[in-house]
Structures are given as structure tokens and as C-alpha cells.
């Protein structure tokens, strides 16, 4: 075997090993997010995103092409996985393609709000899988691309993976917002007066929000009463 072929083989080996490490890091992020969705479709979306990201980086590198080629292929993969997996109902005609494309545009940024505010598990609700698809595909592609193309910056590639894992932990069930609660306002006549009853329920047994709510509502109601009687609310602290 010539020196050139040996060098090429070593380069391919390095690229595959780098892709494997970065894909493993992205998989750790996916594992951290699984309990948020608790669905088989999440596993499919995560596997497709990680596999596509790592594969595109390696293939484009072996072809000797640049970042624009990798970006173009990643956009194709994003559209394909988004319409085929991340947004249920598109292939069945239940959701218009234009509507789904709009979700793919807004999802990578605005979709995280749905993930951290909606009750768990999300399953395959709406387009909540779109942000996950975008993060895992883009993060795996970027980290693998940096690792393969700039060996001296392998640490930067690892940092991209760490960002994905930290993001997954931050929006995971341990640190995410509590399930939505509900507030009931009951107004009834009491002679010449009006009785207002506020019932705020739906909290988890170990809710961290309930103590603050319990102290907050009396202050709000007292301020409302003063406003109705005097035209001015109670002064804030």
C-alpha cells in the first residue's frame, strides 16, 4: 500500500471515529430529552437527526467539498425528516405542507417555548419535535464537521456537543416548568355586596410554585378590593 493510500485510510478512520464520538455526545442529549416526549417517534427523529448530521459531515469531507455543500445537504435532511417524522400528519394529508413548512421555519427557535411550558409527556404533540430535530441535526453536523476538518480544534467540537447536552438538561423534566395549573374565579351576590372566591389548583404534590401562589393571591385580592373602594390599589413593596 502506498503512503498516499495509507494516509487516506488514516484520514477516513479519524473521520469515522470523530463522527462516532460526536454522535455519541448527541445521543446523550437525546437520552436527556426522552422523558419529555416519551414516544417512539422521538427516538426515530433523534436517530435520523444524529445519523444525518454525522453522515453528511463525513461524506462531504471525503468528497472534498466545502461547507455550503454540507449546509445544503443538511437542509434537505431537515426538510425530509421534518415533514416525514417530526410533524405527524403531513404524509397523511392531515396537515397542509405549507403549514408544516411554517412550523419548520419557526420551530428551531420559537418551538422551545412549547417544550418548556406544555404538560409532560409531550408525545407527538403539534410540532414540538421540530426544535429537537434542528438541534440534534445541526449540532451533530457542526461538531463532526469541526472535528474532521480542524483537528487542532477538536476541543471546540466537543464544546458544541456539551452545549447540546446542557440544553437538553435545562429543558428536561428536572428543571423545566411545572405542569400548567388552573384558576377558578367565582363571583356571587351576598346581599348588597359581592363575594369573590379564587381557587387555584392543579399543582404537583411537591410544587415549588405553590408557596409563592399561596402568598400572592391574598395580596392581589386585597389590592383589588382597595382599588374598587378607593380608586387606588395598595402600594407595592
The reported pLDDT for the residue numbered 151 is 67
Q: What is the pLDDT of residues 149-187, one digit of tens each?
A: 876 677 788 889 999 998 888 887 755 556 667 788 888
CA 41 to chain centre: 15
In angstroms, the CA 104 to CA 46 distance is 16
Mean pLDDT of the region 121-143: 94
Residue 49: closest CA among 18, 17, 15, 84: 84
Q: What is the pLDDT of residues 222-233, one digit of tens each?
A: 777 776 777 776
- Split at pLDDT 50, 70, 90, the class of 108 is very high
- Split at pLDDT 50, 70, 90, the class of 2 is very low
**Residues across the chain:** 237
211 or 115, greater pLDDT: 115
Cβ contacts of 212 within 8 Å, gap of 6 or more: none
The reported pLDDT for the residue numbered 172 is 75
Q: Which three-class secondary structure string do you get for the chain? A: CCHHHHHHHHHHHHHHHHHHHHHHHHHHHHHHHHHHHCCHHHHHHHHHHHHHHHHHHHHHHHHCCCHHHHHHHHHHHHHHHHHHHHCCCCCCCCCCHHHHHHHHHHHHHHHHHHHHHCCCCCCCCCCCHHHHHHHHHHHHHHHHHHHHHCHHHHHHHHHHHHHHHHHHHHCCCCCCCCCCCEEEEEEEEECCEEEEEEEEECCCCCCCCHHHHHHHHHHHHHHHHHHHHHCCCCCCC
Cβ contacts of 180 within 8 Å, gap of 6 or more: 117, 118, 119, 202
Spatial contact of 107 and 127, defined as CB atoms under 8 Å apart:
yes
In angstroms, the CA 148 to CA 193 distance is 75
Residue 100: closest CA among 141, 70, 135, 129: 129
Percent of the chain whose pLDDT exceeds 70: 88
Domain ranges of the chain: 3-170, 182-230
Mean pLDDT of the region 107-135: 91
The reported pLDDT for the residue numbered 176 is 54
pTM of the model: 0.72
Site of grid cell 420559537: 110
The reported pLDDT for the residue numbered 5 is 46
The reported pLDDT for the residue numbered 174 is 58
Mean pLDDT of the chain: 85
User: Is the pLDDT reported for residue 14 higher than 90?
Assistant: no
The reported pLDDT for the residue numbered 205 is 78
| CB-facing half-sphere around the CA of 135: CA atoms within 13 A | 29
The reported pLDDT for the residue numbered 6 is 39
For 38-42, 68-72, 92-96, which range has the lowest pLDDT when averaged over its residues?
92-96
25 or 172, greater pLDDT: 25
- Split at pLDDT 50, 70, 90, the class of 29 is very high
Mean pLDDT of the region 133-161: 88
The reported pLDDT for the residue numbered 236 is 61
Amino acid at each position: 500500500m502506498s503512503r498516499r493510500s495509507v494516509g487516506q485510510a488514516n484520514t477516513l478512520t479519524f473521520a469515522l471515529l470523530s463522527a462516532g464520538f460526536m454522535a455519541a455526545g448527541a445521543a446523550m442529549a437525546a437520552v436527556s430529552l426522552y422523558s419529555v416526549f416519551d414516544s417512539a417517534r422521538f427516538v426515530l427523529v433523534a436517530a435520523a437527526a444524529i445519523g444525518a448530521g454525522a453522515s453528511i459531515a463525513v461524506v462531504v469531507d471525503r468528497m472534498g467539498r466545502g461547507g455550503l455543500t454540507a449546509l445544503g445537504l443538511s437542509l434537505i435532511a431537515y426538510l425530509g425528516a421534518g415533514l416525514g417524522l417530526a410533524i405527524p400528519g403531513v404524509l397523511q394529508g392531515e396537515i397542509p405542507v405549507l403549514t408544516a413548512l411554517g412550523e419548520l421555519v419557526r420551530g428551531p427557535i420559537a418551538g422551545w417555548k412549547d417544550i418548556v411550558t406544555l404538560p409532560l409527556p409531550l408525545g407527538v404533540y403539534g410540532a414540538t419535535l421540530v426544535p429537537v430535530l434542528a438541534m440534534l441535526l445541526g449540532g451533530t453536523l457542526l461538531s463532526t464537521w469541526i472535528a474532521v476538518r480542524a483537528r487542532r480544534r477538536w476541543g471546540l467540537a466537543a464544546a458544541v456537543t456539551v452545549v447540546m447536552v446542557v440544553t437538553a438538561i435545562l429543558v428536561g423534566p428536572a428543571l423545566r416548568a411545572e405542569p400548567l395549573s388552573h384558576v377558578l374565579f367565582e363571583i356571587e351576590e351576598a346581599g348588597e355586596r359581592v363575594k369573590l372566591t379564587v381557587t387555584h389548583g392543579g399543582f404537583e404534590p411537591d410544587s415549588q410554585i405553590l408557596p409563592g401562589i399561596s402568598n400572592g393571591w391574598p395580596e392581589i385580592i386585597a389590592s383589588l378590593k382597595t382599588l374598587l373602594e378607593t380608586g387606588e390599589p395598595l402600594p407595592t413593596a
